[in-house]
Each structure stands twice: as C-alpha cells, then as structure tokens.
C-alpha cells in the first residue's frame, strides 16, 4: 500500500478497493469519486483495522447516509442488549453506528461491535476517558486524552468525534454571549468543564497535530464536533455556534494538509427558516467538507416525538447540502432508547434521507418511488410490501384489517381510486354496489 489514507490515495491518483465498492453502490464514476475525495468533498471512513467493513462514502452528490447512536451507560450497562440493537441496526441497513458508551466494559463492547459490523463505526473518545483511566475529569491530563484517541484508532474505529473547535477563544465568545441552554453537547460540556477547572487550553486543539498524526496512521476520519451546537430554538445560529464553525473551517484545512479526511458536525435545535442558511454557512466556512447533522430538531416542545421533529429538519438540511444524518429516537431528551425506539428513529431518519435524495436528484433515488407507484397502480400488494421502507409494518397493518375484496383496502373498499380507474381505463363497469359479473 503506497498511501496512508483514502485522501492520500486519491491525491496520488490511486483507486482503492473502497472507492471501487462505493462507486458501484452509488452508480457513480470512480474517477469522479476519487477527485472529490482528493478535494475533501467526499470521505470514505475506513479504518485499516476494521476488517469487517463494507465501505460507504459521505459527501457531495451521494445518497444521504444515516447514523445510529448506541452504547452502554452507567444506568444501562447491558452489553448483550446493546449488541441486539447493533444487529438490528445492521439488518435495517444503517450505514453507520456510533458507540457512545460512557461506563463499564466499553472496550469489550467496542471490540465486539467493530468485529461484527459491516457499517462504519464512530466513537467519541472523550466519553470513554473517565472510565478508561478511572479518574475524575479534572485529573485527566491532556496527553491521556490523546492516548484514548489512539486506543480507539488501534481498535478499528472509522470516524471519531473530536471537539477541537471549543478552544479558549471560542469559550470566551460563549461566556460573553449568554445562552438559554448553555452547552448541550456532552463532549463539549466535559471539555469546557476541563478547561475551566484546569485553566488550560482544550487538549484536542492544543495538540491537534498529534491527533492528526493518529488519524493519518490508521485512516480515521475526523468528525469535527460541534460543542456549541444549539440545544434550543432560542440559541440557534448565535455567536458561539458560528465562532466554533469558523474554527472548524481552519482545522479542516490543517487536517487536509496531512491527508486526513474530515467531516463537520452541525446543529442541533433550529427553526425551519434557519436551516438552509446554516447549510450554506457550513459549506462556505468549511470549504465543502461533508456535513453531519443531528436533526436539526425543529421545535423544542415534542419530547417523545423527536424522531419526527428531527426527520423534518433532517430532510430540509439534506435537501440543502447536509450529507449525513444522525438519527434521533422518540426517547431523545428522556432516556436511553430501547430496541423499538431505535427502530422508529432509523425509519424516520431513512425517510428524511430519501426525501432529500429525491429533492437533490441523487442517482437512482426516483426509481424506488417509481416502482412503488407502479405497484400501487397495479394493486400489487406483495410488491408494495417488498418495496416499503418498513416492510414488516406495512404487512402487519394490511393483515390487521382485512378487506372484503382483495383488490381494495378497508379505507375505501370498492370506492378505491386505483381499482376504479383501472377498470374505467379498461372500459369496464366499476360495480361499487354489486358484485362483478
């Protein structure tokens, strides 16, 4: 192998096996794909040690991908339950899984996850640091944080969220510009606390070159975290968020100088009318790097339904330039999601992603909808079920309410528009009140 990362290979004119896999999946020209990877507008998160990976790419002109958050916590440390979620997420064809474990046997869970997953794996090393060293946050040294990053890289993590943008300068902007919900990013809040408690610079910013060296060695894609993402509609597009985004743009260029792949993490909570402008800002300030958004959640009032508020925002975001959607479940803001919550979050996020792909004319997106519409027109129920984004639910709903006539459903019966138009177009009588003869 005469290259260090996918970006390095692309810049040298080399087509990697991962590029070939992605080009086939996306139905795009592999040379065009290589060129966009070289420019940093597409990333292929593919750690050299993740041997079970089935490569996917994120970025310009490609299908919108989704990420599923999983992981053990102090209150819910059951590894087997989380691994059941992992298998379900894989079966539901999620392109990425982030391990957000923060307590207990995090290394065991991470290694089992990486070994079994064809989906790309992400982590937030900051979450793992306290348990890794069994130290209070303030007692962990800057270099010890970097050791956790290195451990995750060795284990095979494909992309890591690193909150390097909340440096001392960003923190001062935050202090001068009061927020309703302060810093809601878990990793961002921990780093801010560490900086305040130790009166020191963010270690991921101070030693950013060392982070880049680790990423380059294992080809870890750097997911530059949004510590100052808005946690409420009130805080969206404020000084803290934009200041951090400007820093992330500078860090992106530094990463590219070392052939490290980069994507940028984004908002957060945000009203509908601000989403388009935020997508434009990210692409401008971060030089076209792929954009990874949490939602955006478009209203603060719907706990228990935030998979819906997120899907609304995600569809608008992806239709206006976002490349990667982090799913949100109905349990957001309330508890660790269970298996059913995860399924609902995945489906909502996949709907948002596909809706955006239709709007941006991603290759092949409209073909799926065309096939579904054709099956509906033909009253071909089994094909409809096979094409449905959630086949099991579609079949169950049909089975729960059986119509008198197989070519109808219990909503319209023989007044079904599809049935009657088919008959009329064939020159037949529709026979609503009597049996066909």
Supply the range of the domain harboring residue 262. 6-359
Together in a domain, 337 and 412: no
- Helical H segments across 227-338, by residue range: 239-257, 272-285, 306-319
Together in a domain, 121 and 156: yes
- Structural domain includes residue 88: yes
d(CA 302, CA 436): 49
Calculate the CA 139 to chain-centre distance.
32
**Residue 108 tokens, joined:** 């065991």
Q: Would strands 42-43 and 58-59 be described as parallel, antiparallel, or unpaired?
A: antiparallel
Together in a domain, 83 and 114: yes
Dihedral (Cα; 16, 119, 67, 131), 10-degree rounding: -110
**Is 98 assigned a ligand-binding role in the annotation?**
yes
d(CA 238, CA 267): 11
Exposure letters 275-311 (e unless 16+ CB within 10 A, then b)? beebbebbbebbbbbbbbbbbbbbbbebeeebbbbbb
**Is 7 assigned a ligand-binding role in the annotation?**
no
Together in a domain, 158 and 259: yes
- Structural domain includes residue 419: yes
**Is 409 assigned a ligand-binding role in the annotation?**
yes
**Is 416 assigned a ligand-binding role in the annotation?**
yes
**Residue 231 tokens, joined:** 């946690």
- Structural domain includes residue 1: no
Together in a domain, 96 and 240: yes
**Is 333 assigned a ligand-binding role in the annotation?**
yes
**Is 227 assigned a ligand-binding role in the annotation?**
yes
Q: Would strands 96-99 and 221-224 be described as parallel, antiparallel, or unpaired?
A: unpaired
Convert the pLDDT of each residue in 223-253 to its tens digit. 999 999 999 999 999 999 999 999 999 999 9
Which CATH number fits the domain that encloses residue 152?
3.20.20.540
Separation in Å, CA 74 to CA 85, 149, 213: 18, 21, 32
Together in a domain, 33 and 165: yes
pLDDT of residue 437: 55
Continuous segment of H or E residues that includes residue 264? strand 262-266
**Residue 395 tokens, joined:** 């079949």
**Is 307 assigned a ligand-binding role in the annotation?**
no
Nearest residue to 235 (alpha-carbon basis) of 201, 263, 286, 271: 271
d(CA 332, CA 107): 25
The residue among 328, 359, 390 that closes a domain is 359
Global pTM reads 0.95
If you ran DSSP here, which 8-state letter would residue 181 be given? S
Together in a domain, 242 and 387: no
Q: Which residue has the tokens 């593919």?
A: 46
- Dihedrals phi, psi of 121, to nearest 5 degrees: -115, 135
Together in a domain, 336 and 387: no
Residue-by-residue pLDDT tens, the chain, 437 positions: 789 999 999 999 999 999 999 999 999 999 999 999 999 999 999 999 999 999 999 999 999 999 999 999 999 999 999 999 999 999 999 999 999 999 888 999 999 999 999 999 999 999 999 888 989 999 999 999 999 999 999 999 999 999 999 999 999 999 999 999 999 999 999 999 999 999 999 999 999 999 999 999 999 999 999 999 999 999 999 999 999 999 999 999 999 999 999 999 999 999 999 999 999 999 999 999 999 999 999 999 999 999 999 999 999 999 999 999 999 999 999 999 999 999 999 999 999 999 999 999 999 999 999 999 999 999 999 999 999 999 999 999 999 999 988 888 899 999 999 999 999 999 999 888 888 65
Together in a domain, 271 and 385: no
Together in a domain, 436 and 289: no
d(CA 59, CA 292): 9
User: How many C-beta atoms lie closer than 10 Å to residue 180's C-beta?
Assistant: 12
d(CA 100, CA 152): 12
d(CA 422, CA 424): 6
DSSP string covering 203-243, please?
Answer: HHHHTHHHHHHHHHHHTPEEEE--TT--SSGGGTT-HHHHH
Together in a domain, 381 and 426: no
- How many residues can be counted in the chain? 437
| Domain count within the chain | 3
- Structural domain includes residue 217: yes
Number of helices (H), then strands (E), in the chain: 19, 10
Together in a domain, 222 and 331: yes
Asked if residues 6 and 46 have their Cβ atoms less than 8 Å apart, the reply is yes
- Structural domain includes residue 375: yes
d(CA 237, CA 226): 12
The residue among 330, 359, 388 that closes a domain is 359
**Is 226 assigned a ligand-binding role in the annotation?**
yes
The residue among 359, 380, 414 that closes a domain is 359
């Amino acid at each position: 192998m005469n290259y260090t990362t996918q970006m390095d290979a692309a810049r040298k004119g080399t087509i990697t096996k991962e590029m070939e896999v992605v080009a086939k999946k996306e139905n795009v020209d592999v040379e065009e794909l290589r060129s966009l990877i070289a420019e940093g507008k597409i990333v292929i998160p593919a750690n050299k040690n993740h041997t079970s990976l089935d490569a996917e790419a994120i970025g310009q002109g490609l299908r919108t991908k989704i990420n599923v958050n999983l992981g053990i916590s102090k209150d819910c440390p059951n590894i087997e339950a989380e691994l059941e979620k992992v298998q379900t997420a894989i079966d539901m064809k999620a392109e990425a899984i982030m391990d957000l474990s923060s307590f207990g046997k995090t290394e065991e869970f991470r290694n089992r996850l990486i070994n079994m997953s064809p989906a790309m794996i992400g982590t937030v090393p900051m979450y793992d640091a306290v348990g890794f060293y069994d130290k209070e946050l303030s007692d962990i040294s800057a270099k010890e944080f970097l050791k956790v990053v290195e451990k995750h890289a060795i284990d095979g993590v494909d992309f890591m969220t690193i909150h390097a943008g909340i440096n001392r300068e960003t923190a001062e902007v935050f202090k001068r510009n009061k927020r309703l919900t302060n810093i809601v990013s878990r990793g961002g809040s921990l780093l801010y606390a560490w900086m305040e408690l130790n009166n020191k610079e963010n270690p991921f910013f101070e030693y950013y070159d060392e982070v880049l060296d680790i990423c380059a060695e294992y080809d870890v894609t750097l997911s530059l975290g949004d510590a100052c993402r808005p946690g409420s509609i009130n805080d969206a597009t404020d000084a803290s968020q934009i200041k951090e985004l400007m820093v992330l743009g500078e860090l992106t260029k530094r990463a590219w100088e070392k052939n490290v792949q980069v994507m940028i993490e984004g908002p957060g909570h945000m009203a509908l009318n601000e989403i388009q402008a935020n997508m434009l800002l990210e692409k401008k300030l971060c030089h076209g790097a792929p954009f990874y958004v949490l939602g955006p959640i478009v209203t603060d009032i719907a706990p228990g339904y935030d998979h819906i508020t997120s899907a609304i925002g995600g569809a608008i975001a992806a239709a206006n330039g976002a490349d990667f959607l982090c799913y949100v479940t109905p349990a957001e803001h309330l508890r660790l999601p269970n298996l059913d919550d995860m399924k609902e979050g995945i489906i909502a996020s996949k709907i948002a992603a596909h809706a955006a792909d239709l709007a941006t004319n991603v290759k092949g997106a409209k073909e799926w909808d065309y096939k579904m519409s054709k099956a509906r027109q033909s009253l071909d129920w089994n094909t409809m079920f096979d094409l449905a984004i959630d086949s099991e639910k579609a079949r169950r709903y049909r089975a729960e309410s059986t119509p008198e006539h197989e070519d109808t459903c219990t909503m319209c019966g023989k007044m079904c528009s599809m049935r009657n138009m088919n008959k009329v177009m064939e020159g037949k009588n529709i026979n609503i009140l009597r049996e066909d003869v």
